[in-house]
């Protein structure tokens, strides 16, 4: 398993960091078998596996439940877990306690916090021994305010995001996710920081990439964001497989001889 200290070395050596989300034991097992550098148990699980409209409904209990399953499925992979909406926004002491709880109860390697408004929480939790990943640009927990669209599209907004990224690094974050921002801005931030940047909709000039497992594999997703390129089609393969099973049952072709237990337990 890679350690938190490995990320800066990978950045220096130009070794790009691979990350996908994972929300359960099977996706974690597949991702570890595929050799991904790190997994993100994202609060996007609210939409992808729980059927919510947004990440806002996701709770601490949800994150703990899913992160523990991911850890069991990928025991040898570095795992980052999202803090859910409302768990670090009201009271700083409660926020720090929630970070420590999520870190301790899930076996995570790092915890991710969205936005630049949690710098003191980053400082305190890093001081307590918890590696923290930042998240800037489009922050899904704030889409009620920002909307699902590209962020920092003006010069002033771009300059502010650079300052925000520097502040997140100075607070002690070990890496930062940059979502839905112009590619030249992402490249500028990447060259400015000593910690790795992980892009999602931020172009190629970053230190690594993250995508949602279900988007990469087209698994249960009907609509893909602009920045997603799928590499498989589980939707089609899955429906075809289930349809073939149903047809076999209707036609009494399943179970067949190979899938039936045989032993005479009644006299003729």
Query: What positions carry a catalytic annotation?
Result: 179
CA 249 to mean position of chain CA atoms: 38
CB atoms within 10 A of CB 193: 22
- Any binding-site annotation on 184? no
Could you tell me whether strands 208-211 and 78-82 are parallel, antiparallel, or unpaired per DSSP bridges? Answer: unpaired
Instruction: Report the C-alpha gap between 258 and 255 in whole angstroms.
Output: 8
Instruction: Report the C-alpha gap between 228 and 131 in whole angstroms.
Output: 28
Structure tokens at 11: 């950045």
CB atoms within 10 A of CB 60: 15
- Residues paired with 112 in a beta bridge: 82, 133
54: three-class secondary structure by DSSP:
coil
- Any binding-site annotation on 44? yes
- Any binding-site annotation on 43? yes
User: 155-171 vs 183-192: helix axis angle to the nearest 10?
Assistant: 30
- Any binding-site annotation on 268? no
Binding-site positions: 43-44, 82, 112, 114
Binding-site positions for Mg(2+): 43, 82, 114
Binding-site positions for 3-methyl-2-oxobutanoate: 43-44, 82, 112
């Amino acid at each position: 398993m890679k350690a938190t200290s490995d990320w800066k070395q990978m950045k220096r050596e130009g070794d790009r960091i691979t990350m996908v989300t994972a929300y359960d034991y099977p996706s974690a097992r597949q991702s570890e078998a595929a050799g991904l550098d790190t997994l993100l148990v994202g609060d996007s699980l609210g939409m992808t596996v729980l059927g919510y409209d947004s990440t806002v409904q996701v709770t601490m209990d949800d994150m703990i439940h899913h992160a523990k399953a991911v850890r069991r499925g990928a025991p040898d992979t570095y795992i980052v877990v999202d803090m859910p909406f409302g768990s670090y926004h009201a009271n700083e002491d409660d926020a720090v306690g929630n970070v420590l709880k999520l870190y301790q109860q899930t076996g995570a390697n790092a915890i991710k916090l969205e936005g630049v408004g949690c710098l003191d929480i980053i400082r305190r939790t890093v001081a307590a021994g918890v590696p923290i990943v930042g998240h800037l640009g489009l922050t899904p927990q704030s889409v009620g305010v920002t909307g699902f669209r590209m962020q920092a599209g003006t010069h002033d907004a771009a300059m502010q995001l650079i300052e925000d990224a520097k502040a997140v690094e100075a607070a002690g974050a070990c890496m930062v996710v940059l979502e839905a921002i112009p590619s030249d801005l992402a490249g500028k931030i990447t060259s400015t920081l000593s910690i790795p940047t992980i892009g999602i909709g931020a172009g190629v000039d970053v230190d690594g990439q993250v995508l949602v497992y279900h988007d990469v594999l087209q698994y249960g997703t009907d609509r893909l964001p602009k920045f997603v390129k799928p590499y498989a089609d589980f939707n089609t393969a899955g429906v075809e497989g289930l349809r073939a099973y149903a047809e076999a049952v209707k036609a009494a072709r399943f179970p067949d001889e190979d899938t039936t237990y045989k032993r005479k337990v009644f006299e003729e």
